[in-house]
Amino acid sequence: MIILIQCKDRVGLVAAISGLMAQKNINIVSMREFVDIEAKQFFARLVCEQNRDPEILLSDLHLVLPENALIKINPEPEKKIILFVTKEYHCLGDILVRHHFKTLGAQVQCVIGNHDVLADICGRFGVPFFLITHEGKSKEKFESELLAAIKKYPNDYLVLAKFMRILSPAFVELFPMQIVNIHHSFLPAFAGARPYMQAYKRGVKIIGATAHFVTNDLDEGPIIEQQIIPVDHTYNITDMISAGKEIEKAVLAKALKMLFEDRVFVYNNKTIVFD
C-alpha cells in the first residue's frame, strides 16, 4: 500500500502518522518525508503492508493531519500514457522497448505523431499510431484533433517524446501537471529552439537534458529530472546531438520511473522527488 501526503507543516506530524499506523496495526515498510521550511509544507511517501480498508484509513489520516491535507492511498498502480512524437525515434524507441518487456511501469495506450515517420516502429510493437498533421491547419483545429484522439483512451500522463510543437495555453490547462516533456538542454540554459546549436556556439563544456512538466511558460515547468555529460572542443554539432540523444533517453526514462512509482510531488513550480 502506498500513501502520499502533502499538507501544512507542524510539529509532530511524523509522530502522528506513525502513531496512527501503530494504533491500526499497519506496518510501515518505508517512509520518506521532507519539509519545505520556507513554504511550511510537509511531504511524505509511505509504503505499508496493506491490512486496512483504504477509505477508513483515509478518514483516520484526515483526523490527525492539518486541515486540507492532500492524501492519496494506493494511486493507480500501473499508469496509462499517451506518447506524442514528431520524427526523432530515440526516446520513443526506448519507451516502446521498455513497454514491450514490461519494465516501463505503465501502459502505452497509443502514439500520436504529426508526421508518419514513426508509424512503422509503433506497428512493429503493436501500439496504435495516429497521424495528426499540423500542416495547413490552424492551431485550434490541430489541437482539437489531438484531443479527439486522446479521448479514445484513458490516460494519466501525456509524454512529449520529442514532439516538436508548442501546445497552446488552452490545451495545457486541460492537463495540469500531466504533460511531461524532454528538453534537449540543461534548463534553464538554452531554452527554446535548437539548444545544441546554441550550446555549440557558446563553447560549453557540459551538455544535458531536462524532463519537466509542461506549463504555459515555455520550458519553465517544474523539473523532474536532469543529467549532464562533459564535452570539449573536439565535439562538433553532430557529436553533441549524438551524445545528447543518449542522455535524453536516460533522463526521460528516469523521470517517468519516478512518476509511475508515485515519487514526485509538485509545489510552487518545483518538485520534491523521493528517489
Catalytic residue numbers? 219
Q: Which three cell numbers stand for residue 103?
A: 519494465
Quote the CA–CA distance of 4 and 207 in Å, as a whole number: 34
Q: Do the beta carbons of residue 251 and residue 209 sit within 8 Å?
A: yes
Q: Do the beta carbons of residue 123 and residue 193 sit within 8 Å?
A: no
Number of neighbours of residue 209 by Cβ within 10 angstroms: 27
CA-based max dimension of the chain: 64
Exposed (0-12), middle (13-18) or buried (19+): which is 92, by Cβ within 10 Å? buried
**DSSP letter for each residue of 73-101:** ES--SSEEEEEEESS--HHHHHHHHHHHT
Quote the CA–CA distance of 106 and 157 in Å, as a whole number: 10
Q: From 131, 118, 66, select the one nearest 92 (Cα to Cα).
A: 118
In DSSP terms, 48 is beta-bridged to: 28
Quote the CA–CA distance of 10 and 14 in Å, as a whole number: 10
